[in-house]
Structure formats: structure tokens, C-alpha cells
Amino acid sequence: MIGELMLPSSPPLVLILLGPPGAGKGTQAKLLQEKLILPHISTGDLLREHIRRKTPLGAQAQGFMDKGNLVPDSLIFDMLFERTSHEDCSRGYILDGFPRTIPQAKALQDRLKDKPAPIVLNLELTDEQIIERLTKRVICEKCGTPYHLIYSPPKVSGHCDRCKGVLIHRPDDTEPVIRKRLTVYHEQTEPLIHFYQRLHLLHTFDCTLDKKEVFDHILSIIKG
Ligand code: AMP
């Protein structure tokens, strides 16, 4: 499949990027998007776009996001499943930041029940490494590409290598909010590791490695 990558006749491929905030889900999703020509769907990016456009959904979501809490499932489901119904998702898609709770994972399994099982890519990093990464992270305002100011800075300071968009600090990338997001991750999202392990769909990656090494490892799993 990889090389020719996805042939028009390939069955739809759904990839789920699981892991704490800052483990590299967005980075790996962008690399996979380019390699597999599949849409990258980040629920965080979709929500930030609603906030930017000042939609009613954005207004409801913002308070939860600013505090580092999860946005209620009722707001997430319609937004996500509307997006996955678009024509560009017919060959599959890459989910980044969804599912984040057991009810979300169950709702997704239900949606996918007549389709090939998803591949779940679990990215691992310790809490202290995450805090170090996220406090120095900037993202592109336009396309969401993340950069680390020390380890993977943009070529031109302040601008995205991919689309030349302006790089910003996310308002929820401050240490107190990051710590809250980590608590929420351990309580509500980490149980998904066991959920997908039981379904034999989980593959775990050590994200202390260089992003290219992690990416090569992910590709070898997808090829397999
Ligand atoms: P992210 O960009 O994935 O780090 O998400 C940023 C914030 O958006 C999270 O801290 C949550 O407040 C919210 N969010 C993103 N995805 C979800 C989801 N699947 N369920 C609930 N809240 C979400």
C-alpha cells in the first residue's frame, strides 16, 4: 500500500492518533497526511476554527478549552461526524485528538462497524517532557502545524514553513493549563489504551525518539 500508497481500490484506512497533549500527534498526523494523502482531522483545530469564526459552537467550547477541560461529547460528535461525512474522507482519514473519552471511542466504533477496523497509534511521553515541549511550542494560526522553538524551529522566525502563516502560542499552552490537560488526559483519555488493547488495535510508540524515527516506525506498522 505504501509506495503507491493508497490505491483507489484500497479499503478505507482510519488512523487514530492517541496520546497526551504534546506527544506529537499533530506532527505525526501532518507527516501521515502528506504520505498517505488522507485528510488530517484534528478536533482541537476544528474547535479553534469555530472560536476564530465566532460561531455559537465556538462560544460554547471556549470556556472548556481555556481551562484545559474537555468539551462535552454532545458538542464534539456532530462537529466530528459532519466532517468525516465529507467526500474527501471516503478513502479514510487521520484522527488527531478524537476519541478522548470512552463514550467517544464507543461512538466511533459504532460508526465504523461495517468498515475495516481503525489502526490506533498510541504516542507515549512523560508528563515532564510534555511540559517542556508545550511551554516552548508555537503553532501556525492558519494550518495548525506545530513547531518547537528550540528543537524544531521554523526556517523563518514567526512564520510557518508549510503555508507561511503566522506562528502563535496557543492560549492553553501555559504551565497551569498544561498540568490540568494532563490530569484530564490521565483520568479520561488514558483508559482508551486498555479499550483499544482489548480490541487488538493498539500500537505504542516511544516519542522521546526523533520524529522521523517515530514516523518510520508508524509507517512500518501501517504497511504491516
Ligand atoms: P488539542 O488541540 O487536541 O490539544 O485540543 C485542545 C482542546 O480542545 C482540548 O484541551 C479540549 O478542550 C478540546 N478538545 C479537542 N478534542 C476534543 C475531544 N475529542 N473531546 C473533547 N474536547 C476536545
pLDDT of residue 4: 52
Ligand 1 neighbour 170 (Cβ under 6 A): no
pLDDT of residue 7: 66
Does the pLDDT at position 5 exceed 80?
A: no
**pLDDT tens across 192-213, in order?**
999 999 999 999 999 999 999 9
Q: How far is CA 133 from the centre of its chain?
A: 16
Three cell numbers written together for 85: 461525512
Ligand 1 neighbour 137 (Cβ under 6 A): no
Q: pTM for this one? A: 0.92
Q: HEC profile for 67-106?
A: HCCCCCHHHHHHHHHHHHCCHHHCCEEEEECCCCCHHHHH
Specify the residue with its C-alpha closest to ligand 1, atom 19: 98
Confidence of residue 179 (pLDDT cuts 50, 70, 90): very high
pLDDT of residue 2: 52
pLDDT of residue 6: 67
98 CA: nearest ligand 1 atom? 19
Angle at 37 between CA 33 and CA 39, to 5 degrees: 60
Domain extents in the chain: 2-39+86-223
21 CA: nearest ligand 1 atom? 4
Ligand 1 neighbour 71 (Cβ under 6 A): yes
27, 65, 111: residue to mutate for ligand 1 pocket, most atoms within 8 A of CB: 65
pLDDT of residue 55: 97
Q: List beta partners, residue 15.
A: 94, 119
Q: List beta partners, residue 166.
A: 159
What does the DSSP assignment read for 153-200?
A: --SSTTB-TTT-PBEE--TT-SHHHHHHHHHHIIIIITHHHHHHHHTT
**pLDDT tens across 102-151, in order?**
999 999 999 999 999 999 999 999 999 999 999 999 999 999 899 999 88
- Dihedral pair phi/psi, residue 166, rounded to 5°: -80, 140
Q: Considering the domain 2-39+86-223, what is its CATH architecture?
A: 3-Layer(aba) Sandwich (3.40)
Q: What is the mean pLDDT of residues 83-92?
A: 96
Separation CA 156–CA 164 (nearest Å): 9
For the chain, the average pLDDT equals 94
